[in-house]
Structure 1
Amino acid sequence: MTANQPPSAPRSYLYVPGDRPEMLAKATARGADALIVDLEDAVPAHGKDRALALVRAWLADTAPDRAPEIWIRVNPGERGCEESALLAGPAVTGFCLAKCSGADAIAAQDAVLTAAEARHALAPGGIALAPLLETAAAVLDVRPIAQAPRVRHLHLGEADLCAELGIAPADASGAPGGTALTAIRTGVLLASAAAGLLPPVGPVSTDYTDLDALARSTRALRDLGYRARACVHPRQLPTVHAAFAPGPEEVAAARALLDRFDEAVRDGSGVITDPDGRMVDEAVV
Structure 2
Amino acid sequence: MNAAGPLPLTWLYVPGDRPEVVTKALGSGADIVVVDLEDAVAPERKAYARSATAELLAESAPGPVPVHVRINSLETPLAAADAQALAGLPGLAGLRLPKVDTAEAVVRVARWAAEAPGASSRTDGVPPLYALLESALGIENAFTIATAHPAVRGIALGEADLRAVLGVTGEAGLAWPRSRAVVAARAAGLAPPAQSVYPDVRDAEGLARSCAHGRALGFLGRTAIHPRQLPVIVRAYLPTDQEVEAAEEVIRAGSGGAGATALPDGRFVDAAVVAGAQRTLALALARGR
Please indicate the TM-score interval, normalised by the length of the shorter structure: 0.7 to 0.9
In 1, Cα distance between equivalents of 2:222 and 2:240: 18
**CA distance in structure 1 between the partners assigned to 2:272 and 2:81 by the alignment:** 47
User: In structure 2, how many angstroms separate the alpha carbons of the residues matched to 1:125 and 1:85?
Assistant: 11
Whether 2:123 is the aligned partner of 1:136: answer: no
What is the alpha-carbon distance in structure 1 between the residues aligned to residue 109 and residue 43 of structure 2? 21
Deviation at 1:257, TM superposition (A): 2.8
User: Which string of whole-angstrom CA distances, capped at 9 and with x for unpartnered residues, describes residues 28-60 of structure 1?
Assistant: 111111111100000111111111122112223
Q: Could you say which residue in structure 2 is the equivalent of 1:233?
A: 226
Bigger drift between 122-131 and 14-23 goes to: 122-131
Residue aligned with 1:110, SS: helix
1:71 equivalenced with 2:64 (yes/no)? no
SS at the partner of 1:167? coil
- Could you list the per-position Cα deviations for residues 39-89 of structure 1 after superposition, in whole angstroms to 9, with x for gaps in the alignment? 00001111111111221122235615x531211111123311210111121
8 A Cα contact 1:129 1:152, kept in partner: yes
Of the candidates 244, 247, 253, which is equivalent to residue 254 of structure 1?
247
Structure 1: give runs of 5+ residues left out of the alignment.
1-6, 170-176
The whole-number CA distance in structure 2 between the counterparts of 1:165 and 1:205 is 18
Equivalent pair of 1:142/1:191 in contact (CA under 8 Å): yes
Number of the residue aligned with 1:198: 191
1:4-43 mapped onto 2 (5 Å cutoff): 8-43=6-41
Segment of structure 1 superposing worse, 31-40 or 72-81:
72-81
Mean CA deviation greater in 273-282 or 195-204: 273-282
State whether residues 24 and 58 of structure 1, in contact with CA within 8 Å, keep that contact through their aligned partners in structure 2.
no
What corresponds to 1:221 in structure 2? Answer: 214
Report the Cα distance in structure 2 between the residues aligned to 1:37 and 1:79, rounded to whole angstroms.
15
Q: Does 1:103 align with 2:103?
A: yes
- In the TM superposition, residue 262 of structure 1 has moved relative to its aligned partner by 2.7
The answer to whether residue 277 in structure 2 is matched with residue 282 in structure 1 is no
**Cα drift, residue 120 of structure 1:** 5.3
C-alpha distance in 1, partners of 2:189/2:251? 26
What does 1:43-82 correspond to in 2, within 5 Å?
A: 43-61=41-59, 63=61, 66-76=63-73, 77=75, 78-82=77-81
The alpha-carbon deviation at position 115 of structure 1 amounts to 2.6
1:225, 1:41 → 2: CA distance? Answer: 27
The aligned counterpart of 1:174 is none
1:272 aligns with 2:261: yes
Q: Quick one: distance in 2 between partners of 1:129 and 1:224?
A: 23
Q: List per-residue Cα deviations over 1:166-218 (Å, max 9, x = no partner).
A: 1115xxxxxxx11x311111011111111111112201111122222211211
Which residue of structure 2 aligns with residue 156 of structure 1? 157
1:119 shift after superposition: 4.5
Cα RMSD after superposing both structures: 1.9
The 1-side partners of 2:52 and 2:125 are apart by 26
Of 30-39 and 248-257, deviating more is: 248-257
In 2: Cα distance, 1:36 partner to 1:119 partner: 20
TM-score in terms of structure 1 length: 0.87
TM-score, structure 2 as length reference:
0.86
- Correspondence 1:183 to 2:182: no
Contact 2:119 2:125 survives alignment (8 Å): no
Percent same amino acid at aligned positions? 38
Paired residue secondary structure (2:115) = helix
Partner letter of residue 17 of structure 2?
Answer: D
Partner of 1:173: none
Which has the higher mean CA deviation after the structures are superposed, 224-233 or 51-60?
51-60
1:235-276 deviation digits (Å, cap 9, x = unpaired): 11111112111111211222123223335x4xxx43432243
Please give the alpha-carbon distance, in whole angstroms, between the structure 2 residues aligned to 1:48 and 1:239. Answer: 32
